[in-house]
Amino acid sequence: MKIVRRIGVPPSARGSASGANCPDLFELSDGNFAVIGTEATAALERELPADASRAEYERIVIVSRETLIRAKADIPDA
């Protein structure tokens, strides 16, 4: 599995002074997506709706609203 492309704009285009250590989205060679975000499993797990859960190996991450909105145009429809 490899990163194929960034989804959205780089952190520097979203105001990151160093261009690093910011939320980011990537499309992978297998068609899935990878997310860099703030780990928030402990804070949000109890907030999940009754019909949602996570596996032990999964984490809840926060991606900023701006990151996701700026990525919207690059997310494939299918």
pLDDT in tens, 28-76: 999 999 999 999 999 999 999 999 999 999 999 999 888 888 888 888 8
Residue 19 in this model has a pLDDT that exceeds 60: no
pLDDT at 18: 64
Contacts of 5 by beta carbon, 8 Å cutoff, 6+ apart: 26, 27, 74
The whole-model pTM stands at 0.76
Contacts of 58 by beta carbon, 8 Å cutoff, 6+ apart: none
Closest CA relative to residue 24, chosen from 64, 60, 58: 64
Whether the CB-CB separation of 14 and 25 falls below 8 Å is answered with no
Q: Is 21 helix (H, G, I), strand (E, B) or coil?
A: coil
pLDDT at 62: 94
Q: Which residue, chain included where needed, has tokens 């989804």?
A: 7
